[in-house]
Copies of this chain bind each other. A is one copy, B any other.
C-alpha cells in the first residue's frame, strides 16, 4: 500500500512527471487528450499530492498556529471555533497551543510554531506577557501575525479587539441608570490591557456621573475564577454593606458573585445589581439571569483569521505590509441581575 506519486502516473502513461504535474494543475500547455488521461488515472488511483513535498517546494504549509491562554474557556473556545471554521474555507488547518497564562510557556509555544514554519500565527497574550523577545522574533521574521482580545499596545501588528474601555463605561453607566449609587468593580489581573481598559472605563463612568472613585471598591482577580467571585462577594458585603452595584470583569467571576449572594439570601437585583462581561452562554441560564456585555467571540475568530490571511497573501507579493486593527462592536445585554427591582 504505497502512496501514489506523480512518477507512477507518468510511467504508466508513458509521459513525463512534468506533464502530469501540469495536467493536474491545469497548465495551458498540455493537450486536452493527455490532460484527460492524467486526470482520469489520477482519480482512479486516488492520487493526492504529497503535502510534505509541496510544502518544501512552495515554502508554505497551509497551516497556521493559534496560541491562547486556555482551551477550556467559554470565550476562547468560541474564538477557536470561529478561526477553525473560517480557516477551513480557505484551505488552512489550525494547530492549537496553550500558554496557560504563563509567559515562559508562551515563549516555548511561539518557538514551536516558528520551527514548525506555520504560515502565520494568531495569538491572545497571556496575563504575564507584553512586548517580549518572542513576539519581537515573530515580527522580525516577518511571519504573518495577528493579536486578538488580549493584546499589547506596544506591538505593531494586526489586531482584532473590542473597545474595552467604552464597553466597561457603558456597563457601569447601565448600573448607574438603574439607580446604583455605590458601585464596586471586580477587575482582572494588573497586567493585561483589557483588564486595565475595563477598569479605566469603570472609573470614567463614575467620574462622568459625579460618583467619587474609591480604590477600596476595586477588587483585583488573580486567576479570574468562579471561586474568586465568591470570595470577593463575601469581602464586599463585609467591608462595604452599602454597595448597590458591582461591575465584574467577566461572567464566570460574576456567576461566582451571584452564587455567594444566593447562598446568603442577598437579593439580586433588589439589594445589589450585578453586570458581567462577555455574554457567556451560562449567564442566561442561572438565577437570576445575568446582565452582561456581549463580546462577539466567534466573530473575533473569523475576523482574526481573515486579517491573517490578508497578511499572508500580501506578504507573498511584497514585504511591506501595513498592520490593520479591527474593532468589533459590543452591546449591553440587560437581564434580571440589573432589572429595576
Query: Residues of A with Cβ closer than 8 Å to B?
Result: 1, 48-53, 55-56, 59, 61, 63, 70-74, 77-78, 80-81, 84-85, 88, 93-98, 112, 114-117, 140-142, 226, 255-256, 259, 262, 281-282, 285-287
Contact = CB atoms under 8 A, between A and B. Distances in A.
B56 A84 contact: no
Nearest to A287: B262
A126 B275 CA distance: 37
A88 B95 contact: no
Contacts of A262: 287
Contacts of A93: 95, 97, 112, 116
Given A117-B50, A142-B1, A72 B81 contact: yes
A122 to B, nearest CB: 14
A226 B72 contact: no
A277 to B, nearest CB: 18
Contacts of A96: 80, 84, 94, 96
Contacts of A74: 72
The winner among A50, A70, A114 for most chain B CB atoms within 10 A is A50
A187 to B, nearest CB: 21
A95 B95 contact: yes
Contacts of A55: 52, 55-56
Given A53-B56, A71-B77, A77-B71, A48 B115 contact: yes
Contacts of A94: 95-96
Ranked 7 nearest A-B pairs via Cβ: A52-B56, A52-B55, A72-B77, A48-B115, A93-B95, A71-B81, A77-B77
A1 to B, nearest CB: 7
Contact of A95 (B49, B50, B63): B63
Contacts of A78: 72
Contacts of A115: 48-49, 51
Contact of A52 (B52, B71, B95, B282): B52
A34 to B, nearest CB: 24
